[in-house]
Structure 1
């Protein structure tokens, strides 16, 4: 099972606060295209697409490509800004063998209960040589994540509950994948720390749901105190792990 339920409350919070702006999306587009050259007729799989913001971005960036959006949570599918979103998950992808040119997995890999099974299923649907692009926070690589700055308990949750880069690589290696790249990508998550603090919704962040209520409340106080004097945008750094 996923680390959180992604029920109606989670989906509503995600919809309200987790859609990135153009600056953040631009940084990720640049990173993605270092490993993928989208061409007309290609099919990109957005696996665990949530409310479909990445699928919508792909359709905008590369209108001549097809996007297959797949999401297991009914609450997320109901709020999707992209159509259609199909029901499925990493172990049961609604696609034919070798029909997908690239797989995008954004802030999802920690919800996959069986990485080896997911790797086998992705290998089934992916064309030979196609990339699996995994956007995630990974244990031991948290220095640029804002949540870890104000909620140190999140670091423990990340280390205890999220798969390491090595664990993902090992699971996918069993299905013939090798690592093509691993790089940090800096994104503008909010125009200011004040905006980030004002718009914070605990239900939108898996890591915040994995810590205690007291730890969460103390971190909120630290965040709002810092936001009163902070200048400039709020930057987060996540990793892009690419397997082929």
Structure 2
């Protein structure tokens, strides 16, 4: 289990900052898959440092309940991502501090793999969603880990993620048991950085939970190789990454 109160809280906002084009891509995608009426009350579950919470408030016009178990991540969010319709709240996927049928939309952005009891989380999401409400689950899946550029510099990373992320069929089955059915699925191409130098600077912060499971020697060697490749880059090319989004719906 990654302890975000230990180190990650201090580097996460910078290390996982959205490229401007990525922010636009996710805004368009979230809007396309959200229920059509407005305003929408939104649950941002595993909201971290508030990377998406203000955006969700602006997109959908309702209250955003940003629920995050890490106290220090919530402190960073409150200080750096305030919004009049966003409340940063203590809670977890297994204990969502909201009433029944209180949300129209839930976003889980690269947080579901941290959930220890996924069946309970699925039941909690079904509980807080209104009929017709949707879950936007941005995650990797252990049976379809994408070929990411940074993986090439850290040989163990892909195997770690194949173990760390649940397989897509298992996720679908768990949510179906809670009454949440698949409404869609997309693999998007997310802009990550304008070039290798910017990309390497962010990777160097190790704001990706996979690094918590890598050997220190492998991490040091991989960062050195990535830095060397970035220093040698003469014609910067945009860095993009495949990103899976599963859409689930409460239909009763």
- Place the TM-score, normalised by the shorter chain, in its bin: over 0.9
Aligned to 1:185: 188
Corresponding residue SS for 1:178: strand
Aligned to 1:28: 26
Indicate if the aligned counterparts of 2:139 and 2:245 stay in contact, CA closer than 8 A: yes
Structure 2: runs of 5+ lacking an equivalent: none
TM-aligned CA distance change 1:131 to 1:37, over 3 Å: closer
Deviations 1:40-89 (A, max 9, x none): 33201100100112001112333x22211111100100100235200001
Structure 1: runs of 5+ lacking an equivalent: none
Q: CA RMSD in A?
A: 1.7
Decide which structure has greater strand share.
Answer: 2
Q: TM-score, normalised by structure 1?
A: 0.92
Measure the CA separation in 1 of the matches of 2:114 and 2:29: 23
TM-superposed deviation, 1:234:
1.5
Aligned to 1:68: 65
Indicate if the aligned counterparts of 2:16 and 2:202 stay in contact, CA closer than 8 A: no
Indicate if the aligned counterparts of 2:45 and 2:108 stay in contact, CA closer than 8 A: yes
Measure the CA separation in 2 of the matches of 1:242 and 1:75: 29
Aligned length: 241
TM-aligned CA distance change 1:201 to 1:56, over 3 Å: farther
TM-superposed deviation, 1:20:
0.4
Q: TM-score, normalised by structure 2?
A: 0.89
